Amino acid sequence: MKPNTTWNKLTHFAPGRALLVAMLASAPLFPAQAESIDELKQLIQQLDQKVRILERKAEIEKEGTDEKAKTTPRITVGNSGLGVSSADTNFVFQLHGLVQVDNRNFFNDGPIQGNDTFLLRRARPIFSGTLYHDFDFLFVPDFGGGARGSSAVAIQDAYLNYRYEPWVQLRVGKFKTPVGLELLQSDAATYLNERGLPSSLVPNRDVGIQLWGDIAGGVVSYAAGIFNGVGDAQNTSNADFDDSREFAGRVFAQPFKNSSNISLKGIGFGLGGSWGSTSVTNTAGLPSGNGFSTDGQQQFFSYNTTGAGVVGDGNHWRLSPQGYYYRGPLGLMAEYVVSDQRVSRNVAPITAANLQNTAWQVTASWVLTGEDATFTGVTPRKPFDLHGSGWGAVQAVARYGELDIDNGAFPLFANPATSASEAKSWSIGLNWYLNRNLTIKGSYARTTFDGGGGAGATAPAAVTRQPEELFSTRFQLAF
């Protein structure tokens, strides 16, 4: 056995083979071979050292990599937007966005001008994040035109949230008041372009402070807050218009959320409500636009604010039982709202009344391509790709709703010749989710009215003169 040959063989040995060589080396041998065996042992020791050194170096390198990872900020870019976080995730900054470009076409709408339009409905950069692990924030400006088109930039959400535990959180700032179910659904996740009639009777965004939380992973969610108070469907102007506050709260249960029973786990039901009082003689406490609107965002009812000086003047409470059911591609949502508000007029005959307006709706949806329907939207299994086999997800939607104005509103507080006392609306739609970020929606809505329809070229008279027939589409980018 020549030393060079042995060396060449050893250097090509895998580490595990060293054991075999060691066993061979320790076997009894003739004296003539002893010198070679000593060399062999020495080579084995050298090889063993090399292996140990390599292993240790790998360990040290891994320790260094792990240590570096502990302090290296992370940047993520994906379908959830841009995210930057500290290595310990105590500090997080995220950039999301929402752009909705709509087209509205009204049929057989007589003299109404300017309502067939392309509309930049929403254009929102969304900034969110976390500071010191427990403090979250959200800031959402909107450069879009809003429901009726506007060039004003508005701040939709701006709040801080302290997250002590998921079940005890405190939020302060401007955000959605916890009353209506569909109104609390994300603007990017609504199944039809515009929310249904019940959302006309609940407060929209307001400034206030809210204690809230998700108990047992969301089996029970609660929210209770004090707000400035806004009229039905109103967004706050970022300051109160009177000296009183409004209390709002909501409890929502999904008792089978953590169950393995797929037929039950998608059940959710709850109750939202608010109570407040308006005490100044202006119209800020009245509904948005001083009245109520259709799916096409056209006003079918208006308080007589100019002729009779109608204002919100006294207690205003709302109650909204609500629920949904999701199972696989099926989605059902139902909501009822009663909004009871005391209004007064300052033109003879000067009087006041408690008006109780009600609305309800049922929405049903079915994802034709089989994906799960959820309250937060639909995620296609196979994103649309002309070069591949994916076509995204397609969902069919239908909705029926009604809004009934208290008969006591007529004729002192609203003009029965121009305003409808009731609106009934049904809609059907088809949504194409190309991927998690891009959606195209098309829907047809027909709304009929009781009352109104008198003389006049503007809303609400011109709107209530005939049923509203609307075909609308939406191109949506959300990330």
Residues 183-202 that bind other proteins (CB under 8 A): none
Tokens encoding 228 = 């400035």
Q: How many angstroms separate the CA atoms of 318 and 378, rounded?
A: 31
Q: Does 60 bind other proteins (CB under 8 A)?
A: yes
Alpha-carbon 258 to chain mean position: 21
117 beta partners: 104
Residue with smaller CB distance to other proteins, 135 or 143: 135
Residue with smaller CB distance to other proteins, 52 or 74: 52
Residue with smaller CB distance to other proteins, 60 or 368: 60
Q: How many angstroms separate the CA atoms of 12 and 14, rounded?
A: 7
Q: How many angstroms separate the CA atoms of 123 and 20, rounded?
A: 71
Q: Which helix (H) or strand (E) holds 181?
A: helix 181-184
Smallest gap, in angstroms, from Cβ of residue 135 to other proteins? Answer: 17
Residue with smaller CB distance to other proteins, 22 or 219: 22
Q: Does 262 bind other proteins (CB under 8 A)?
A: no
Q: Does 57 bind other proteins (CB under 8 A)?
A: yes
DSSP, collapsed to helix, strand or coil, labels residue 211 as: strand
Alpha-carbon 334 to chain mean position: 18
Smallest gap, in angstroms, from Cβ of residue 68 to other proteins? Answer: 11
Smallest gap, in angstroms, from Cβ of residue 65 to other proteins? Answer: 12
Residues 24-53 that bind other proteins (CB under 8 A): 49, 52-53
Q: Does 68 bind other proteins (CB under 8 A)?
A: no
Smallest gap, in angstroms, from Cβ of residue 190 to other proteins? Answer: 44
Where helices occur in 12-116 by DSSP H, the ranges are 17-26, 34-71
Q: Does 69 bind other proteins (CB under 8 A)?
A: no
Considering only residues 64, 111, 307, 408, which one is a binding residue for other proteins as defined by CB under 8 A? 64
Residue with smaller CB distance to other proteins, 60 or 209: 60
Residue with smaller CB distance to other proteins, 56 or 74: 56
Residue with smaller CB distance to other proteins, 64 or 78: 64
Q: Residue 5, class by beta-carbon neighbours within 10 Å (0-12 exposed, 13-18 middle, 19+ buried)? A: exposed
Q: Does 165 bind other proteins (CB under 8 A)?
A: no
Q: How many angstroms separate the CA atoms of 357 and 316, rounded?
A: 11
Considering only residues 35, 38, 63, 165, which one is a binding residue for other proteins as defined by CB under 8 A? 63
Q: Does 56 bind other proteins (CB under 8 A)?
A: yes
Q: How many CB atoms are located within 10 Å of the residue 466 CB? A: 16
> Taking each helix axis from N to C terminus, what angle separates 34-71 and 17-26, rounded to the nearest 10 degrees?
150
Is the omega angle on the peptide bond into residue 349 within 30 degrees of 0, that is, cis?
yes
Smallest gap, in angstroms, from Cβ of residue 255 to other proteins? Answer: 43
Residue 55's closest CA among 63, 20, 12, 11?
63
Smallest gap, in angstroms, from Cβ of residue 218 to other proteins? Answer: 34
Which spans of this chain sit near other proteins (rule: CB under 8 A)?
A: 49, 52-53, 55-57, 60, 63-64
